[in-house]
Structure 1
C-alpha cells in the first residue's frame, strides 16, 4: 500500500512537472510559430512576451527585434514606392513597362495621354502593331542598350526609347519604353528647314537675275546704251531687293537675340495716325481706294518707340492697300478696354483663307506667293511687326474672311513697359 501511494504521488508529481516543463518549453515555441505565420501573412507589427532569459527567451527577443526591423524596412520600402509612383505619374515623359513575356506591367498618366487612350492594357506585340512601330524593335533587343523610334499619334509625334532591364544573373527581365512628345521640336526643325530653304530661294532669284544680266552686258550689250541702262536698272532693282531682304533678316535676328532695345516716348495716337493716313493717302487714291481714320473721342497716349510703332502701322496700312482691289475701303479706328488701347485697320480687300490665317505671322509665309513676290514683298513684314508689338508688351492679331476683307488689330498696353535703351 505504501509503495502504491508513493508511485501514485510520484506519477502525479511527474505529470505536474511535465506539464509545467511543457508549458515553459513549448508555449514560447508555439507563440513563435504563430508569430512567424502572422509575419508571413504581412503582420509585422507584433511583439511576443519574453518569459525567460534562457535560449527560448533569447530566441523570442531576436524574433521581436526582427519584427521591429522588418516593420521599419517595410515602412521605408512603402514610402520609397509611394515616392516612385508619385514621380512616375507626374513625369512629363510617358513610361510603359513590359515583362520578358511581353505582358503589360505598368504605365503612367503621361503615357496614356500621349497615346490618346484611356487605359493601356495591350501586350508588347499589340503595342508595336497598333502604332506601326516596325523599325526593328523586338522584345529581346539583344546587346543594344536602347533603341529610339519616332512615330505619329494623331497630330503629335512621339519619340519612343526602348530599354531592356536585367536580373542579377544578367538575364533580360523585361523592357521599359520611355515616350517623349517631340511635336514642338519637330515643328521647330521643320520651320528651321523651311526658313533656310526660303532664304536660299529669295536670294537665289535676284542673284540669278543679276548674274544673267551682268553676263549679257559683258557679252556685248554694253555697246547699246539703251539696253545697257535698262539692264543696269534691273540689276539695281534686284540689288535693292536683296538689300531689303538682308535688312529684314538682320532685324529679325536682333529681335531673336534680344539686341533690339526701344527708345520709349509718349505717342499721341490720334495725331500719329492722322499723319500716317496723310502720308499714304496719295497711294490709296492711286488705286481709287478710300483710306480713312476716325479720331478717338479723347487723347490716346501710348508708350512706345515712335519709329518702331510707325513701322508696324505703315506695314499694316500698306498691306491693306496692296492686297485690296480698286474701290476698296480701308478704315482705321481706336478702341480700348481696361488693359489695352486697340488700333484697328479694317479693309474690304481679298481677305485670307481660314487655313492660311494662323500662319500669316510666320517668316516668309505668303498667302499668294506669286503675287507677293511680284509686289516686292519679302514675306517678313508681319513677322517683324509681330516682334515689335511683343517687344512693346502688346500683341498683333488678325481676323479675316476670304473675299470679304481683313481686320488687323494692334494691342498697346496702357501701362508703360520697363525702361529699355536703344538698338545695339
Structure 2
C-alpha cells in the first residue's frame, strides 16, 4: 500500500496556502479600508465644494434679484455671468429659478430651451418654501450617480428664488475604480512572489518531518531499530531528538503495555455511558471521558480517590465493603438552576472463589426520564384534582335535588344553574386538554396568512370593550397607525390575546384600565397587555405558563379558570417562532408580553422613501 502524501495534502502545500491567504486577507483588509476611506473623503470633498459654490452663488443671485433694474434682459445677462464665474464645474448644471418657479438661467448651454419655462423639480418647490434639500441619486437614463441640490435664495423679505444644481459624481468613482485595479494587480504580484518564497522555506521544515513520518511508519510495523537524523537545535531538531528517545522507550515498554492496552480497549470501546473502575480497595483507577463529563471532573483529579467520594455518596455508604455494591442507586447532582440525575449501576470484579479485585460502575443520565415521569405524575394528579372538584360539587347538588330540593322551584333552579356551570367548566377543561394533547403530539395544523396586525388587534380590543362595560373596565390603546404585516394563524393568535385580556378583565378591579401597547422592535412585533390587578409574586412569575398553575387557586376556580389558558398561549406563540413572558409587581398589576416575527409595514403614499 502506497502511503505517499500528495502535494495538495502535504504540509508544504498547507503552509503555502496559509501564508498566501494571510497575505491576501491583509492586503484585502487594507485595500478595502483604504478604498472606503478614499471614497468617503473624495465624496465629502466634492459635496462640500458643491455646497460652498452653491452658497456663494445663492448670495450673488440674491444681490442681483434685489437690485433695481430698468429691464429684465440685464438680469438674465448678469445671472449668466454669475453662473459662468461661480459654477464652472464639469458634468454639472446649475439653474436659477424665480419665486414663480420660472427658470431664469442655466449653466448648461445645451439646455437653454428651458429658460422661461416653469421648473417641475420637487427640490425646487421645497427650496422655494425655504428648505434646502440635497441627495445623491442615479440618472435613470445613464445610471450615473448625481449630486442634486435645491437651495433657496433668501432676502430680508423672505425667499425670492431658488438654485437647482445637478452634478455628476462618476469622475470620482472612475478614479476609485482605477485605484482598485492597481491594488488588484499589486495583490497578484505579491501573492505570486510570496508563494515562491514559501515553497523554498517550507522545504526546510518538511524534510525532517518526512523522515520522522517514515520512521513512525516503521515503528508502527514493529521496527524500533532506526533513528531520525538531527539537522539542528531548533524546535524541529528537538522534536527529532525527543522522537529518538521515544523510540528507545517504546521499544522497552511496548511488550508490557500492549496486553493492558488491548484489555482496556475491549472494555471501553463504543461505550456511550460513563464507566469508572476501582481497585480492590475501592479507589478509582480508570474513568472514561463520558464519566468525566457526567461528574464534571477529570481522571487526574479522581485518580486514587474513593468511589463514594467521587459519586458524593453518604458516609454510611462509604463505610460499606466492596461486596455491598450490588443494586443500582439514583444520584442527585441537581442545582438551583438545573436538575441533573444519574443512575449508577455497579458490577463487582471477582475471580471465581477468589477475592474482590475491583468494581465497575456504569453511569446513565436519567434526568430527562425522571423529569418526564415526574411531569406525568403531576399531570395525572392535576387532572384528577381539577375533575374531582366539579364532580364532587355536582354530586352534592344532585343528591340535594334528589332529597327534595327539587320541590323548591327557586332553590332547584339555583342548584341546576350551579350544576350547569360546573359541567361547562369540565367541558372547557377537557377541550383545553385535548388542544394541548394535539400540540404535544404534533397533530396540529396551522393556517398562516399575511395579516395587518394593527387592524387585527383593534378588532379584538373593540370586541372586549363591549364585554368589559359591565365591570366598568376601560382600554388604553397604543397602536401605531402604519400598516404592520405578520404571517400568523389568526384563530390561534386570537385565542392567545383573548386569554391574556380575559385574565386582565377577571383580575382587574371595577373601574380599572387595561393598556394594550404594540411596537416594532428589531425583527419582531412586541405586544404588551397590562392590567391593574393584584399582580403576581416574583417567585410565581416563572411558573404561570405551566399547566394547571394558578397564583390564587381559590379565586381562579371561582371565576372559572382551568389553569391551562396561558400554557396554550405559550405553545401557540412558540409555534409562531415568538416569545412570551411576564413582568409584574405584586399589588401593582401585571404586564404580559409576547413577540411575533415581523414581515414588514407600509407607509402612506405621501411618505418620502
So what's the TM-score if we normalise by structure 1?
0.71
Residue of 335, 345, 356 corresponding to 2:529: 345
CA–CA distance in structure 2, aligned partners of residues 374 and 97 of structure 1 = 59
Residues 238-317 of structure 1 aligned to structure 2 (within 5 Å): 238-317=422-501
Q: Which runs of 5+ in 2 are unaligned?
A: 1-221, 227-249, 601-609
Cα distance between partner residues in 1 of 2:347 and 2:392: 52
Match of 1:132 in 2: 314
Residue of structure 2 aligned with 1:95, choices 275, 278, 282: 275
CA distance in structure 1 between the aligned counterparts of 2:557 and 2:477, rounded to whole angstroms: 29
Query: What CA distance in whole angstroms lies between the structure 1 residues aligned with 2:520 and 2:259?
Result: 60
1:19 maps to which residue? none
Per-residue deviation at 1:324? 2.7
Show CA shifts across 1:343-394 (max 9, x none). 2213343222222111111110111111111111000001111111122232
Change (3 A) 1:187 1:204: same
User: Does the Cα contact within 8 Å between 1:112 and 1:120 map onto a contact in 2?
Assistant: no
CA deviations 1:190-240 (Å, max 9, x no partner) are 221111111111111111111121122122222222222111111111111
Q: Are residues 336 and 81 of structure 1, via their aligned partners in 2, closer, same or farther at CA, if it must alter by over 3 Å?
A: farther
Change (3 A) 1:200 1:163: same
Moved over 6 A (4+): 70-88
Structure 2 equivalent of residue 57 of structure 1: none
The answer on whether the counterparts of 1:45 and 1:71 sit within 8 Å (CA) in structure 2 is: no
2:308–2:317 contact (8 Å) kept in structure 1: no
Which of 292-301 and 306-315 deviates more? 292-301
Shifted more, 347-356 versus 270-279: the winner is 347-356
Report deviation, 1:187: 2.7
Counterparts of 1:348 and 1:84, CA distance in 2:
65
**1:358 aligned counterpart, secondary structure:** coil
Instruction: Report the Cα distance in structure 2 between the residues aligned to 1:337 and 1:345, rounded to whole angstroms.
Output: 16
After superposition, the C-alpha distances for 1:82-134 in whole angstroms (9 at most, x for unaligned) are: 8988977xx5x443221122122133455455446673252135457x42286
3-state SS, counterpart of residue 216 of structure 1: helix
User: Which consecutive unaligned segments of at least 5 residues does structure 1 have?
Assistant: 1-43, 49-66, 417-424
Name 2:306's counterpart in structure 1.
123
Count of equivalent residues: 349
* Offset from partner CA, 1:30-85 (integer Å, 9 cap, x none): xxxxxxxxxxxxxx64459xxxxxxxxxxxxxxxxxx99x9799789869978988
Secondary structure of the equivalent of 2:525? strand
Change (3 A) 1:133 1:127: farther
Secondary structure of 2:542's partner?
helix
Cα distance in 2 between the residues matched to 1:80 and 1:283? 77
The structure 2 residue matched to 1:408, chosen from 566, 573, 592, is 592
Aligned-partner Cα distance in 2 for 1:218–1:207: 16
Q: CA RMSD in A?
A: 3.6
* Structure-2-length-normalised TM-score: 0.51
Which residue of 2 is the match for residue 218 of structure 1?
Answer: 402
Indicate whether 1:107 and 2:287 are aligned.
yes
Alignment of 1:183-198 (within 5 A): 183-198=367-382
Residue 141 of structure 1 aligns with which residue?
323
The residue aligned with 1:152 is 332
Residues 116 and 324 of structure 1: CA distance in aligned 2, closer, same or farther (over 3 Å): farther
- Specify whether residues 159 and 393 from structure 1 end up closer, same or farther in structure 2 by C-alpha distance, changes over 3 A only: same
